[in-house]
Amino acid sequence: MALASRHVSTPRIALIGAGAFGRNHLRVIHQSEHAQLAGVLDLDPQRAAEASSTYACPRFLSLEELAANADGAVIASPTVTHADLGCRLMEAGLDVLVEKPIAPDPVSGRALVETAARRGRTLQVGHLERFNPAVRATIPLLTQPMFFEVHRLSVFTPRALDVDVVLDLMIHDLDIVLSFVKSPVKEVRAVGLAILSGKTDIANVRVEFASGCVANFTASRVSTERIRKLRFFQPRQYISVDYGRQDVLAFTVGDDPGAGAIPSVNPQIGMVKPPVTSEEPLHAELKSFLAAVRDRSVPVVPLEDGRLALALALEIVDHIHRHGDKINLEKLAGRER
């Protein structure tokens, strides 16, 4: 029976996919005061057994068993499975938090959205950076962003190789910039290379919006260091966001920066470090999901936002492939796609 009709005060939340990131979800659900960890489902018997043992929770052997013993679920399995699992769970009456990207293609994404609407289920997309304290502290500063420079670099790990770096890493920043700019995409230019996997591992993208804003994105999963930074300019102001350190710096020209100003070398430039309320983004994301389930309200990351981020990511992937074909990249790399 659906959670809304049960009036469950502490919903039972199950996890599908106990891989590297799935284990983080398990930890957060287990620690939550507002949810019970219902159990875990994973196709790898050893991984499922380890997760079950670590968190003293049931190990489900089928989706049907999970659906019969849970009120909601977090899907942290490979992207290609999101639509099938999400739709089946919502048909069974469960609410769902699905990891980003929402689906591997627009058709699958639309199936999730339509099922959620038809069944009256809460479906939230796991765009985790929305819950980063630095991002939350930046939102009140937004006026008219006109230029973004975004870098997300990570060392190589054998995870999420079912998708390329655009859908794996860059999609976080695409979602944030789309939510900040709130303007249709006008033009995309992109280039990317496969380095250590069979898919694009490093990409550089330029996106122009109808508002005139331009955003440059660089994402790599073959870097020697870990960097997650977003910088943007708007009239009379430059703002720097460090996702990893969870801090924000705002530089304002001319006007009195107000309380909390930091001494600046140039007296015409006021520097402020806005207060940031520290919280693990994954905890904040789960709380948001549970609140949307409880109140039957629109999640912080609405379905349409998940679809927009996916659509832009897929457009970028298409541009990367077309650019590679144009310069005969596969031949230059000594392999054929």
- From the list 305, 336, 2, the residue with the least C-alpha distance to 124 is 305
Cβ proximity of 150 and 289 under 8 Å: no
Domains and CATH numbers, the chain: 3-121 (3.40.50.720), 130-277+314-323 (3.30.360.10)
Per DSSP bridges, beta strands 72-75 and 12-16 are parallel
Per the listing, tokens 């994404």 go with: 109
pLDDT per residue as tens, the chain (337 positions): 344 444 457 999 999 999 989 999 999 999 999 999 999 999 999 999 999 999 999 999 999 999 999 999 999 999 999 999 999 999 999 999 999 999 999 999 999 999 999 999 999 999 999 999 999 999 999 999 999 999 999 988 776 567 789 999 999 999 999 999 999 999 999 999 988 878 899 999 999 999 999 999 999 999 999 999 999 999 999 999 999 999 999 999 876 555 556 655 566 777 889 999 999 999 999 999 999 999 999 999 988 899 999 999 999 999 998 887 776 655 555 554 4
φ and ψ at residue 141, rounded to 5 degrees: -85, -15
Sheet strands side by side (includes 72-75): 36-41, 12-16, 72-75, 95-99, 123-126
pTM equals 0.88
Question: CA 165, CA 219: separation in Å to the nearest integer?
Answer: 7
Question: CA 314, CA 105: separation in Å to the nearest integer?
Answer: 8
Residue 46: Cβ-neighbour burial (10 angstroms; 0-12, 13-18, 19+): exposed
Q: If residue 178 lies in a helix (H) or strand (E), which one and from where to where?
A: helix 171-181
Residue 151: Cβ-neighbour burial (10 angstroms; 0-12, 13-18, 19+): middle
